[in-house]
């Protein structure tokens, strides 16, 4: 296992990268209030990064894990392997059923794809660099929780698409995502810091996906306009 200073450095670089991307995207949009949407997910990632080296937070994570796992006397469940996809599947299902959100099918598909690309890149890189042992000691790829990241990415997508119809869509999505994080701890696969950081990464991934989709649309439309004029 790599030493803690190295872990802290690589984790801090992960956080800084997320913050830099967020700040750059909003400066390009020239909308100062836009950056505020990144505060909460950045705080979540910050907590996870800090927990890696902070002994007090580490103890809190351990105590909470014992409580959730009922001091080791638990029956493992595989429900978290499935409900992580529920929010994202719900978005596609609602769209297919004719309950349209704010995006058309083309834009929605592009946003889903980009969100997964961002999420997979960030999660896999962080797992490889931080090399944190799982609570059940099965592997050294605990930080952050990929299941939780996927669930919260889908929940954020569900919220953004249907918040103008009803806030209950977002509530349901985030409840499902929170349940995914809980069961990851219940199954002794992750600590609280892994789950919280995963939630932050998932939310940021979807927000960046929406931004990127919007920019790509602008580029394509401008290109088509130039071609017509030519």
* Residue 76 CB neighbour total at 10 angstroms: 12
CA torsion through residues 196, 198, 204, 207, sign? negative
Tell me, yes or no, if the pTM score tops 0.75. Answer: yes
- Give the mean model confidence (pLDDT) for residues 57-66: 82
**Alpha-carbon 216 to chain mean position:** 22
**pLDDT of 27:** 47
Q: What whole-number distance in Å separates Cα of residue 178 and Cα of residue 196?
A: 10
CATH assignment of the domain containing 18: 1.20.144
131-160 pLDDT tens trace: 999 998 999 999 999 999 999 999 999 999
Residues 6+ apart with CB under 8 A from 181: 145, 147, 148, 151, 190, 195, 196, 198, 199
Q: How many domains does the chain have?
A: 1
Distance CA 99, CA 161 (A): 10
Distance of CA 178 to the CA centre of its chain: 12
Range of the domain at 31: 4-229
Residue range 76-103, pLDDT digits in tens: 889 999 999 999 999 999 998 999 999 9
């Amino acid at each position: 296992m790599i030493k803690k200073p190295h872990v802290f450095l690589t984790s801090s670089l992960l956080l800084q990268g997320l913050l830099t991307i967020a700040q750059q995207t909003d400066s390009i949009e020239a909308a100062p209030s836009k950056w505020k949407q990144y505060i909460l997910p950045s705080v979540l990632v910050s907590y996870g990064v800090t927990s890696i080296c902070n002994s007090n937070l580490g103890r809190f994570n351990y105590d909470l894990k014992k409580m959730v796992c009922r001091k080791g006397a638990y029956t493992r469940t595989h429900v978290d392997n499935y409900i992580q996809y529920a929010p994202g599947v719900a978005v596609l299902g609602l769209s297919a059923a004719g309950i349209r959100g704010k995006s058309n099918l083309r834009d929605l598909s592009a946003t889903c794809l980009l969100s997964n690309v961002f999420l997979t890149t960030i999660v896999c890189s962080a797992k490889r660099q931080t090399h944190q042992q799982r609570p059940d000691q099965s592997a050294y790829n605990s930080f952050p929780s990929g299941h939780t990241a996927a669930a919260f990415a889908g929940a954020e997508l569900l919220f953004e698409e249907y918040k103008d119809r009803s806030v209950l869509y977002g509530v349901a999505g985030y409840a499902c995502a929170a349940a995914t994080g809980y069961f990851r701890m219940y199954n002794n696969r992750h600590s609280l810091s892994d789950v919280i950081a995963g939630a932050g990464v998932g939310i940021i991934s979807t927000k960046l996906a929406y931004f990127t989709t919007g920019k790509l649309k602008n580029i394509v439309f401008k290109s088509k306009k130039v071609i017509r004029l030519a």
